[in-house]
């Protein structure tokens, strides 16, 4: 039985949302995510070519409330797998304490009558054996939290069949021709001890090419160090 508007609103108000999401009937979640504007603006800045989504498979790493997963499905993907662990178990480090885990994802999937699948898995454990291969892989807001980012990129190269969309914090971009990463041993980046690395764009390009991506493009760069990169396997 479909949820009523009153039931959706009541459940949504009890959830600690990371993403601002439109649940219909005027119900907009109060998300904490910042940096790219509203939920429509975020997706548009990813600039994923429609032909890479229609009828294709998508892996959304670090899905949290599932915003990107559901938007990929809406854009025509025939299979979407949302994966997360820290957010769904309230282990993420953020300015605000989150206590409702996977509730946002579960409610949104029910409201959207979505077929998005889910798997609880740590990012370093994402391999071909554990999740398989996908036409498109979304790795958004994840890499700078990883202690071994190059290992993660190598794994991403193996699970991606066509396109990796990588959104991450970057640093030291005043150095354009030398690949390097800035290390944050404490809470230097955004007062968050889970932030470890700030690679420059040159470093990201080189790591991605070494991981087997044939073509790498910078599609967005903000004034505050966030970058979106497309890495193609073909």
Task: Output the pLDDT for position 34.
Answer: 53
Give the model's confidence band at 37: pLDDT under 50 very low, under 70 low, under 90 confident, else very high: very low
Per the listing, tokens 């967005």 go with 220
pTM (whole model) above 0.85:
yes
Helix (H) or strand (E) holding 208: helix 201-210
**Of the candidate ranges 17-26, 109-118, 133-142, the one whose mean pLDDT is the lowest:** 17-26
Q: How many contiguous H segments (helices) and E segments (strands) does the chain have? A: 7, 9
Contact 50, 58 (CB under 8 A): no
Return the sign of the alpha-carbon dihedral for residues 205, 208, 209, 215. negative
The CATH number of the domain covering residues in 37-232: 3.40.50.150
Using one digit for the tens of pLDDT, what is the confidence trace for 86-117? 999 998 877 678 899 999 999 999 999 999 99
Specify which residues 217 forms β-bridges with.
230
Q: By the 8 A CB rule, do 196 and 145 touch?
A: yes
Could you tell me the residue ranges of all domains in the chain?
37-232
DSSP run (H or E) holding 106: helix 103-111
């Amino acid at each position: 039985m479909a949820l009523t508007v009153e039931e959706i609103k009541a459940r949504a108000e009890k959830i600690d949302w990371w993403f601002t999401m439109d649940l219909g009937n005027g119900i907009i979640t109060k998300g904490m995510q910042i940096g790219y504007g509203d939920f429509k603006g975020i997706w548009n800045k990813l600039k994923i070519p429609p032909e890479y989504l229609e009828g294709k498979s998508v892996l959304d790493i670090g899905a949290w409330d599932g915003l990107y997963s559901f938007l990929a499905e809406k854009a025509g993907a025939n299979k979407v797998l949302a994966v997360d662990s820290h957010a769904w178990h309230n282990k993420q480090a953020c300015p605000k304490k989150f206590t409702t885990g996977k509730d946002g994802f579960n409610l949104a999937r029910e409201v959207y009558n979505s077929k998005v699948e889910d798997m609880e898995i740590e990012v370093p454990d994402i391999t071909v054996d554990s999740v398989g291969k996908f036409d498109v892989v979304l790795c958004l807001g994840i890499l700078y939290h990883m202690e071994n980012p190059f290992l993660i990129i190598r794994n991403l190269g193996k699970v991606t069949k066509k396109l990796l969309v990588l959104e991450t914090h970057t640093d030291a971009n005043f150095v354009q021709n030398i690949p390097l990463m800035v290390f944050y041993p404490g809470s230097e980046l955004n007062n968050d001890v889970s932030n470890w690395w700030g690679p420059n764009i040159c470093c990201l390009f080189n790591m991605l090419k070494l991981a087997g991506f044939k073509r790498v493009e910078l599609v967005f760069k903000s004034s505050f160090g966030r970058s979106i990169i497309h890495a193609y396997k073909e």
